[in-house]
A and B are shown apart, each in its own frame.
Chain A
């Protein structure tokens, strides 16, 4: 049977490691995604991400299942060079990310010569308040 617990603070049984439930909610990621950004883009694994869009070479957006309360949320990203490639050369990639609105996040990838490139391993996460 489903049940609901309303408390302000969580502690371990010994009374240590106290944390306010507000920190649990605020500190939790509100979404994360790992997707293949090459060819027909596809989500590999995600949480609270409803879909991804291919907006052009090296440019993507991902859409959140639940909207954020405002567009000033925290974002992190990563664009990885492909597995099996190494060395300091043109296979290096860098990602940038910015809020598009309360329900969508823009994510871009470029090589070290500042050229837009599609990338196999695109990662992102989002923190902030949900609506």
Chain B
């Protein structure tokens, strides 16, 4: 029978920040909170930068060519959180690598990211840029 739960907040019983969910195959369980992305953003990094869509992102800053900073609305718990990303310019003739923490150590408040042309010889503003943050919230 189908069922619907209407609530504004979910908390674990044993630990408020830990709700266990069962795997798709039913063989394992994992933490719901740990698995959820804590922030994501897609933005136009050319010209006057602008956010296309985002979650838990307070600001996007254009530092220099192909160099951007994002700030979280709610901080993550440690500066050691993983941030992965991609951009549209990847092809055999237009490959641009995503570089996180460009010259700036990661912080719980956000990260600085960078894109560079495949031969390392130039920086190019990108549109769109996609970033995802995992980790724990503070």
Contacts and interface: CB of A to CB of B under 8 A. Distances in A.
Nearest to B78: A45
Interface residues of B, number: 55
Interface in A71-87: 76-87
B23 A129 contact: yes
Interface residues of A, number: 60
Contact of B5 (A7, A28, A34, A80): A7
A34 B120 contact: no
Nearest to A11: B6
Contact of A130 (B24, B83, B134): B24
9 tightest A-B CB contacts, nearest first: A86-B103, A28-B35, A112-B120, A130-B23, A123-B82, A44-B80, A76-B84, A66-B28, A94-B97
Interface of B: 2-8, 10, 13-14, 21-25, 27-28, 30-32, 34-37, 78, 80-86, 97-106, 114, 116-123, 132, 134-136
Given A25-B24, A33-B82, 18 more contacts: A8-B3, A12-B8, A13-B8, A28-B35, A28-B36, A34-B81, A34-B82, A44-B80, A47-B134, A67-B28, A76-B86, A78-B98, A83-B105, A92-B120, A112-B120, A123-B84, A129-B25, A131-B28
